[in-house]
Amino acid sequence: MNLCRAYPVFIILSVVIGWAIAHFRNVPVLYGISIGMSVGMAPLFLLGIIYALMMAWRPDRPMCRCGKCQSEDYEFVWREEIPVMKKTIYEFRCPSCSRTYRKKDKRFWEVSSDGSETPFMVISKWGRWQIENTEPPIHSS
């Protein structure tokens, strides 16, 4: 379900519930509607705060390999949607070192000049960016 379509329905539902509260408790209608809106909008407000805290915990993009480019400093290059796989690929460039990166799902890839991709960062199970370990484990016999 698209949330943009759900918000107006949610607001209308809050107003109707507020009107019902006013009708059955014999209070002024505007008072009931304001209670309904307050109670109805509180979860949306809390979800917004939770989302903001999550984004502060894990930014959309990791710090560049050069260490000079933060999440918000990247330059957007292009975006490609793959409808069959329901995925979107983003490409960014660091303005400091001109390295190019691609973001696919939970991975951030460094793109070389010939177009080949090298794994750079991955989102850990705790939701933070970490360097992706692509080397196979060493087994000693």
- The structural domains of the chain, with segments of one domain joined by +, span 3-57, 71-131
Burial 68-87 (b: 16+ CB within 10 A, else e): ebeeeebeeeeeeeeeeeee
Q: How many residues does the chain have?
A: 141
9-55 confidence digits (pLDDT tens): 777 888 888 888 888 888 888 888 888 788 777 887 888 888 778 76
Residue from 133, 60, 135, 69 nearest 99 by CA: 69
pTM above 0.75?
Answer: no
